[in-house]
Amino acid sequence: MERTFIAIKPDGVQRGLAGEIIRRFETKGFTLVGLKFLQPSRELAEQHYAVHKERPFFAGLVDFITSGPVVAMVWEGDGVIASARKLIGATNPLNAEPGTIRGDLGANIGRNIIHGSDAPETAEYEIGLWFKPEELVNWTPTIMPWVHE
Ligand code: DAT
Ligand code: MG
């Protein structure tokens, strides 16, 4: 079963949006298999955003993501990687469609509330970076036959 890494960034936590965001993934029908609350180290943030290290916004991005606690999660489900990106919406909340998390809740590219892996390879890398294997729970919700045929 496919898994993706999702993080509620410090702005989402500070604004009290964690419950709202988790609710959207739950009600969609995805399964939470890992969750932790932590203030990321610079090293973790730099590894997480390594693909962007040459970009002009990299230093500010690392400052921001390490500036307070984040909710780090792994969600599971059929097609969850691409579907989560759709639930999240476009990178710039000003361009994100209403109905998406960024479209409904955000107003600035530097404060876009949430991170989601963008492909199977990045999901695997990010899950391994943020979680030990034993921190992930293998389980099947009892409602699954009503969510998925
Ligand atoms: P996403 O988070 O949608 O996967 P990304 O991987 O391209 O977007 O960029 C990572 C984060 O970097 C993004 O969530 C916000 C920040 N960012 C991206 N482009 C930026 C820009 N042009 N100016 C400022 N911050 C930017
Ligand atoms: Mg990205």
* Total residues found in the chain within this entry: 149
Structure tokens at 128: 């391994």
- From residue 63, give the alpha-carbon distance in Å to each of 31, 32, 59, 99, 130: 31, 28, 6, 29, 18
pLDDT tens-digit profile, the chain (149 residues): 999 999 999 999 999 999 999 999 999 999 999 999 999 999 999 999 999 999 999 999 999 999 999 999 999 999 999 999 999 999 999 999 999 999 999 999 999 999 999 999 999 999 999 999 999 999 999 999 999 99
CATH number at 87 reads: 3.30.70.141
**Which ligand is located closest to the Cα atom of residue 12?**
1
- Our count of domains for the chain comes to 1
Q: How far apart are CA 122 and CA 107, in angstroms?
A: 26
CA distance 58 to 94: 20
Which domain does 105 fall in, by range? 3-146
Which ipTM did the prediction report? 0.98
48 C-alpha to center of ligand 2: Å? 10
Ligand 1 contacts (CB < 6 A) are 52, 57, 61, 91, 109-110, 112, 115, 118
Phi, psi of 36 (to 5 degrees): -145, 155
